[in-house]
Amino acid sequence: MVDYIQIAWQGLVSGFAYALIGLALVMVYKTARILNFAAGTMAGISGFLAHWWAAEQDMPFGVAILFAMIMTGAGTYVIERLTVRPLVKLGDFLPIVIMTLGVEEFLANVSLLWWGGTARRYRVPGDIDRINYLIGDFRLNAWHLVVAITTFLTLSIVGYIINQTELGLGMKAFAEDQDAAKLMGIKESTVSIWTWVLSALVGGVTGIVFAPVLFLQQDYMNIIFIKGFVAAILGGFLSLSGGVAGGLLLGELEAFTIKWAPREFAAALPVVIVFIVLLIRPHGLFTREKGHERV
Amino acid sequence: MSDNPEIQENALQRAGIPLPKFLKKNHYFGFLGILLIYLLAGTYSQYSQTIMNTIIFAIIGASLIVVFGMAGQLTLGHTIFVAAGVFLSANITTVWSRGLETEIPIAFGVAFLLGLLIGFPSLRVNELYLALATFAVAFVGVQVLFEWKQFSGGGSGKPVGKLELFGYEFSRGPTLVRIALILMLITFWIVGNYQDGRTGRAWNALRTSETAARAVGLPVAWLKILCFAIGGGLAAIGGVLYAHTLRFAIPENYGVSLSIIVVLALIIGGKHRLMGAVLGAAFVKWLPELSRDVQEYEGLIYGGTLIILTLIAPDGLVGMFEWVADRITNARRSEKDGKGDQTSKASSVPLESLFLAPLSSSEPKGNLIVSNAAVSFGGVRAVNGVSFEIPAGGVTGLIGSNGAGKTTLFNAITGHVKGAEGKFVLDGIEISQKPIHTRALAGVGRTFQNLNLHDDLNVLEHALLGLDRNIGYGRIAESFRLPWVLREERNAHYLAAELLDHMDLLEYWDEKVEDLPYGLQKRVDVVRALAANPSILLLDEPAAGLPTAEALEMMKKVQEYANHISAGVLIIEHNVELVADVSDRILVLDAGQTIADGTPEEVTRNEQVIAAYLGT
């Protein structure tokens, strides 16, 4: 029994990562109908910056995180203005997707040049990630607890922003109907850029908080990015809560598959899920099918 | 009267439309280039490795042109096909000890089947989703390979056996380059033939407007899956060569980063042209050769180049060169045009020409029975139980105020709206519940209110798209440009030219549709529908936005053609005067229901109609 709880908890922790990245992807897709391929790399760079500043540049951990978040926000702001914005008025999304691929390639190589290709493991303050509590036979890693708390905090903050602020209202308006939102005087470029920044910050938090769980390697967030995408598909890609729920579900599925299925299958699980969901419920597990397509 | 179209005065010759030929100018250039490298491969053997990589990337790029350049499916999982080629090659050469004659067919076949599978999600999702779905395929593909140790050798990889062909062993180096060049020639030949043939045209059409491609009767779903299968198969040939160049197959080389690099290379080179595949491959493979510094910043440069090119030259390096070349030729042409050498308008009647005359039919078709058609959007019943019958061969007008449900009724008939209830029978064949393209092939032709044209395609190609169903060559014959492919293509060109002549579009045959004035674009929309030889033609506001005189003239031409092929016409129009002029009968819709049905005189006097229109 404890075994199952242990696996379920493990799945939940990975699920947090998928949920957060899923949320970040859905956010941008929903408001701007853009997929950001650089999201994983951007999140990875945030994580690297924070831990590198803290461990190698002797910055206090909190300050390092703060700086990393500021860098993430500012960097995203610049990237969106320089690369995405000029293409939006063309009205075709394909060049934008290609652009984010170019940004991905560029940033991945910047971080490769900066930190090299080898995996690193930085210490966190108080070595929390090495502390394990034993509750009966159930082993609880202290850092996993930090991960859980951070996830809940992040989700609450995002929920607050979306439901209680003007930005959130603008995002919802754009998600509903781009043209109508523009006619109502909501400025598209303002909503878009803050959505990008918010999404990148959520990614950044994920990168920072999961760095001690995974090894810090140049492309360590890519796998989380893929799975966050699978989470978003599970949730139908247009629902924020669906993306989060999809992430948690994927985490659990994965944890139990690794336990029982052969490794080849466990590795293929995300793609299998993508195919099955697209086949049976392309609109996601948790949302109802949307109406018609206009000709 | 001569049966030989070559010496007949016809529209095609008057407009100077070149006939499809077996070899074009590009073929000679390409062949010369490849021959040159073939001969020089021995002399510059120190570059063999780089040349080899360039060729492999060019082949992979050409295969991506099929999937991405033509069909417009952004795939980031393309390396899975390359990996299939590489590891099949490693296994075939070591386990079976067989040579290229076995490797290439098997690699092509397996990757083809894999492509059918991977192409599948493209049916369910939009391109944006697809990009990520294929990204996931690439990502997970490597992991599966990594774990499938028996096939891939796991993390340490698998050695590749000898380079053999029918038992003859070849040395690597220049010989491998020569073999690769021959394979490149074949792949380029195949991709080039698709570009010139009906499949490429159909792919281009579905890329630019899927809705319209369906409406003209193209099997969009099959075409999408097919592009992945063909693209995948060709990429696997590149994979086989890659295996022999590297001589060792390691799973982790075929992951997401390679997938992204091949896409970047093609986009940098130019995704619509074979030359783009070559330029992209050369860019990616020769840049690191320049110096060690460049090597270190390789990825940075690719990413940066892509960012800059996407902003300034979306069609890549080839696009830039073509743009420059266009400006030069345009400058020259405008000098010539000044002297005024207009092609004389011929006196011949296109409908009586050798090509359109056989389409004439005295048997009226297009008998459409609509019973209890209903469509609802949420709680709104846009079409609410409409029933009527349209007799074969006549012109029927469909009028009604805005929001009366006219276009929705059209969409219900053609299948463009989901969940339409009711029964539609065309000439005795039930078409309700069928997919859009099946209804189109059954004889439903339509135009669109908001002009669903294919940007990037010229006027002639729009007509040829309509003719696609009459072109009778298979896709395998097409890939090798067999003689009957050319014959069919030529016939289609003749026919298309006459049709353009009839609609007074002949002189614009070469123009991209997006450069045409609105009135001519409307005609192109009509031509595409007419070329398909429909039984019934549904025209959605053909006159909207046109001066009445121009609209009347166009309608006259359409009517002439419809009479010629004895097709029925159903026309939505707000211009009551025009409808009354052309129609034998008018149906009036209001709030999703028919409120009047009769001759133009009856309908215009009907009080209910007047009330609905004037709001009294």
Model's pTM, two decimal places? 0.88
- The predicted pLDDT at position A288 comes to 66
Helix then strand count (H, E) for chain B reads 27, 14
pLDDT score of B482 more than 80 = yes
The three-class DSSP label of residue B66 is helix
| Contact call for A102 and B304, based on CB within 8 A | yes
> What percent of chain B stands above pLDDT 70?
95
| B141 and B74 together in one domain | yes
CATH number at residue B566: 3.40.50.300
| B502 and B583 together in one domain | no
Q: B181: pLDDT confidence band, cut at 50, 70 and 90?
A: very high
| B278 and B389 together in one domain | no
| B251 and B378 together in one domain | no
Q: A289: pLDDT confidence band, cut at 50, 70 and 90?
A: low
The token duo for B446 is 């339509």
| B432 and B469 together in one domain | no
pLDDT digits (tens, 9 = 90+) for B25-65: 888 888 898 898 888 888 888 888 889 999 999 999 999 99
For residue B507, give Cα distances in angstroms to A110, B13, B15, B432: 53, 12, 6, 39
**Taking residues A92-114, what's their average pLDDT?**
87
With respect to residue B336, please indicate whether it lies within any of the assigned structural domains: no
| B265 and B371 together in one domain | no
| B487 and B512 together in one domain | yes
Q: A295: pLDDT confidence band, cut at 50, 70 and 90?
A: very low
**Taking residues A15-25, what's their average pLDDT?**
94
Q: Show residues of chain B in contact with A270, CB under 8 Å.
A: 136, 139-140
- The predicted pLDDT at position B615 comes to 57
Count CB neighbours of B286 within 10 A. Answer: 15
Chain-wide mean pLDDT for chain B? 86
- Could you say which of B132, B310, B448 has the minimum Cβ distance to residue A98? B310
- The predicted pLDDT at position A292 comes to 38
pLDDT digits (tens, 9 = 90+) for B496-551: 988 898 888 888 888 888 888 888 999 999 999 999 989 999 999 888 888 888 88
Count CB neighbours of A125 within 10 A. Answer: 9
| Contact call for B303 and A113, based on CB within 8 A | no
With respect to residue B154, please indicate whether it lies within any of the assigned structural domains: yes
| B185 and B318 together in one domain | yes
Give the domain range for residue B100.
56-324
What's the CA gap between B446 and B468, in Å, rounded? 15
Domain boundary residue among B511, B528, B545?
A: B528
| B609 and B541 together in one domain | yes
| DSSP notation for A70-85 | HHHHHHHHHHIIIIIH
Q: Show residues of chain B in contact with A290, CB under 8 Å.
A: none
Can you give B197-213 as a three-state secondary structure string?
CHHHHHHHHHHHCHHHH
| B523 and B539 together in one domain | no
- Could you say which of A103, A113, A237 has the minimum Cβ distance to residue B307? A103
pLDDT digits (tens, 9 = 90+) for B129-145: 788 788 888 888 888 88
How many domains does one find in chain B? Answer: 3
The token duo for B530 is 């007419």
Q: What ipTM goes with this model?
A: 0.80
Q: Which of A41, A105, A227 to mutate to test the interface with B (most CBs of B within 10 A)?
A: A105
What's the CA gap between B115 and A110, in Å, rounded? 34
The three-class DSSP label of residue B382 is strand
Which chain B residue lies closest to A294 (C-alpha atoms)? B417
The three-class DSSP label of residue A159 is helix
